[in-house]
Copies of this chain bind each other. A is one copy, B any other.
Amino acid sequence: MVLRGENFRVERIVSMGHSTPSDRWYDQELNEWVLLLTGSAGLLFEDEDKPRVLKPGDYLSIPAHRRHRVIWTDPNKYTVWVTIHYT
C-alpha cells in the first residue's frame, strides 16, 4: 500500500511470469485503475475476444464487476503495476 485516501487506495504490485489460473476471473467489488510501470502484460476482459496488451506507461480502467484476468506478464523481467482501487 503506498497511499490510502478516503475512497481509494493506491498499491504497487510486482509480478514476473504471473497469470491468473485459466479457469478463474477476477470479479471485484471496487473499481480499479491500473498503470503499468515496467515490463509488459496481457489483460483479458471476459467480454472481449483479445487481451489488452500493456506496455510501460499504459493504463486502463476496470469497472467493478467487469470480469477479467491477467493472461501473461513478461516472463523475463519484473512487471510493476500501480493500481488504484476506488468506490
Contact = CB atoms under 8 A, between A and B. Distances in A.
Interface of A: 2-3, 5-8, 10, 31, 33, 35, 37-38, 56-57, 59, 61, 80, 82, 84, 86-87
B10 A38 contact: no
Given A8-B8, A8-B86, A10-B84, 19 more contacts: A2-B33, A2-B59, A3-B33, A3-B61, A3-B84, A5-B7, A5-B31, A5-B86, A6-B86, A7-B7, A7-B8, A10-B33, A35-B82, A37-B37, A37-B56, A37-B57, A38-B56, A57-B80, A84-B84
A80 B59 CA distance: 13
Identical copies in the complex: 2
Nearest to A61: B3
A74 to B, nearest CB: 15
